[in-house]
Amino acid sequence: MQKDKNAPIGIFDSGIGGLTVVKAVMEALPNEHIIYFGDTARVPYGIKSEKTVKEYALQITDFLMKRNVKMILIACNTVSASAYGAIREHVKDVPVLDVITAGTRATMEFNHSDRRIGVIGTLATIGSEAYERSIHAHDPNIHVFSKACPMLVPLAEEGWTDNEIARKTLRIYLQDLKSKQLDSLILGCTHYPLFKNAIAREMDNPDIHIIDSAVSIAQMARESLKEQHLLRTDPKGKFECFVSDKPQRFQQLAERFLGRKIPQIEIVQL
């Protein structure tokens, strides 16, 4: 069946961090309609079982499919690690992209002379070893150095991304990685692009590639839609934002992550 190029792109996350992916997609694909779903009633996913994460992810997938999306972007590292295969099987012919594959693909594009890649993420993402598996599927000889940085999420949501507290926190977290002579550092959490400049300064290595999986997945989406002749050509796509609960300050936080005003946020029950 022929897909409609004017259909929206569906993007989802367990909460608010996936809006960094929305922002990157808006920049890469300004003509596209975007539907975002943040599962704010059930965040965080990192403490849930894999079975529960899959169940939640498939519920959100059904929500997006009912809105006839032409593509789904998984803007959540936990879901990418736990439920990517289940989502692909569930939607059949709708393309599904995820941030772990996107981040891995982006870093593989660089020449890794020392074959040393760093990954920072939440406790759940680092504990899953999903990036190690994804990277080693491309090249088993690459050395992967992972570091959980759990304090960065609350700092991002407080707006403290480049102040003294943020810089000191990054210095502590990145101290070990700085000594590893990394070729690339993958930002393995959708909150972390907000710290990109501060992280680059702290690593103090002009040759290191800082991999923002939000930018990477947006580029993958553009390539995939172009290959399928599904790029929307009408100017100025629209944005719809849905959440499962509207916690205090959500709109303020969402606009900070997105870098623009959100006219309406709709609460839906799955």
Q: Which residues are catalytic?
A: 76, 189
* Other C-beta atoms lying within 10 Å of the C-beta of residue 179: 9
Q: How far apart are CA 120 and CA 57, in angstroms?
A: 23
Residue by residue, what is the 3-state secondary structure of the chain? Answer: CCCCCCCCEEEEECCCCCHHHHHHHHHHCCCCCEEEEECCCCCCCCCCCHHHHHHHHHHHHHHHHCCCCCEEEECCHHHHHHHHHHHHHHHCCCCEEEHHHHHHHHHHCCCCCCCEEEEEECHHHHHHCHHHHHHHHHCCCCEEEEEECCCHHHHHHHCCCCCHHHHHHHHHHHHHHHCCCCCEEEEECCCHHHHHHHHHHHHCCCCCEEEEHHHHHHHHHHHHHHHCCCCCCCCCCCEEEEECCCCCCHHHHHHHHHCCCCCCEEECCC
